[in-house]
Chain A
């Protein structure tokens, strides 16, 4: 069973090695001559006016939390789909009930305009 994951492990190792080699290479070979202007934040040619970490709009947070909820909903579909032949019609009804409840939530956020950016 675990042998099936060997390609993924290999991919992981290659990706890690690539990143390490590239970063180590530029660290070891690249010239490092830093001065204040060079290491400052990039601001299209003028001196930086503010800090890098500007506060985000709260709407990003809302979208993100809505995404979490529907992500979990989708996650419930996977074992259901895999076991569908065993649980049959009852399973279908259950899942429809589950989806209906979340559909109510979807209609609510749609009507509230939470999905609209402006």
Chain B
């Protein structure tokens, strides 16, 4: 199992370094690219745990779709980082609080760790998920479709602008039907008064 350990530590190191890159790089586009690298190496870690479906999900959904979404958002906002830097100190307490909670959770989980995750199951990961998700967790699964529906409608409501269709076509009958009274207006102005 030596080789697997080496591979694990290599991918774990890449994950950590890329995650540091996400929060420390000055260019936001670079941040997103580091995020994609983090997703990818996490997917590799999932493969090492024999959780293939989760790995595929990370590559498909997170790298394929969410990262692209992030890129669009970053490019769409095009914000000035120097403004945010000045305000960063205001958000420090909140950030520290969230970080402390996550750290606490990690400590709790790791101290009760089951040392080895149940990887040595005989059925493939995807099959096991399929068997439980569509029987035992049927209700949450159907709820997920509603959540996705809400996401769809929300995205459309928030971002879709109705565009007035501008017709620039010439309508000859309208042009011919114009009369003098609706096309010309005579205005009496005294000299020197201007418009």
- Contacts from A to B (Cβ < 8 Å): 1-2, 5, 9, 53-56, 58-62, 64-69, 71-76, 78-84, 86-87, 90-91, 94-95, 97-99, 101-102, 104-106, 108-109, 112-114, 118
Contacts and interface: CB of A to CB of B under 8 A. Distances in A.
A65 B155 CA distance: 7
A107 B102 CA distance: 40
A97 B131 CA distance: 18
B17 interface: no
A66 to B, nearest CB: 6
Contacts of A98: 141-142, 144-145
Contact of A68 (B66, B124, B141, B156): B66
Contacts of A80: 130, 133-134
Contacts of B23: none
A52 to B, nearest CB: 10
Contacts of B163: 118
A76 B64 CA distance: 16
Interface residues of B, number: 47
Interface of B: 4, 7, 47-48, 50, 53, 56-57, 60-61, 64-66, 68-69, 72-73, 75-78, 124, 126-127, 129-131, 133-135, 138, 141-142, 144-146, 148-149, 151-153, 155-156, 159-161, 163
A68 B69 contact: yes
B88 to A, nearest CB: 21
A78 B56 contact: yes
Given A79-B133, A94-B138, A101-B149, A2 B4 contact: yes
Contact of B146 (A76, A91, A101): A101
| Interface SS majority for chain B | helix
Contact of A71 (B61, B134, B146, B149): B61
A108 B126 CA distance: 32
A56 B75 contact: yes
A65 to B, nearest CB: 4
27 contacts: A2-B47, A9-B7, A53-B78, A56-B76, A58-B76, A58-B161, A61-B159, A62-B155, A64-B65, A68-B151, A69-B148, A72-B148, A73-B145, A79-B127, A80-B133, A82-B130, A83-B129, A83-B131, A83-B134, A86-B127, A98-B142, A98-B144, A99-B145, A105-B149, A109-B152, A109-B156, A114-B160
B61 A61 contact: no
A109 B148 CA distance: 13
Contacts of B66: 68
A62 B50 contact: no
Given A94-B134, A105-B148, A112-B156, A61 B53 contact: no
B130 A79 contact: yes
Given A69-B155, A80-B130, A94-B141, 8 more contacts: A64-B72, A67-B65, A68-B61, A68-B69, A83-B126, A95-B134, A101-B142, A102-B149
